[in-house]
């Protein structure tokens, strides 16, 4: 099993936790930068969540 397959399987099992981590990381960046890049951070968070959801769907076993 490749690392990508393992990641997909992990995301399929723990996708809800990944969203929380992405949010927390974005909030930390906003805090450290004083919100200067908040719009860019928000876009990056949304893209990360979409990618994690997509990979998670591929990793779910029927």
pLDDT at 8: 84
- Residue in 24, 22, 28, 29 with CA at minimum distance from that of residue 53: 22
Q: What is the pTM of this model?
A: 0.77
Q: Where are the domains of the chain?
A: 3-59
What pLDDT digit, counting tens, does each position of 23-51 carry? 999 999 999 999 999 999 999 999 999 98
What pLDDT digit, counting tens, does each position of 45-57 carry? 999 999 888 888 8
Q: How far apart are CA 32 and CA 24, in angstroms?
A: 12
pLDDT at 61: 58
Contacts of 13 (CB under 8 A, 6+ apart): 59
The per-residue DSSP string of the chain comes to --HHHHHHHHHHHHHHHHHHHHHHHHHHHHHHHTTTTHHHHHHHHHHHHHHHHHHHHHH---
């Amino acid at each position: 099993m490749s690392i990508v397959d393992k990641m997909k399987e992990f995301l399929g099992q723990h996708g809800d936790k990944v969203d929380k981590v992405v949010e927390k990381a974005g909030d930390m960046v906003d805090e450290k930068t004083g919100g200067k890049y908040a719009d860019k951070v928000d876009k990056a968070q949304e893209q990360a969540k979409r990618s994690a959801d997509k990979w998670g769907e591929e990793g779910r076993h029927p």
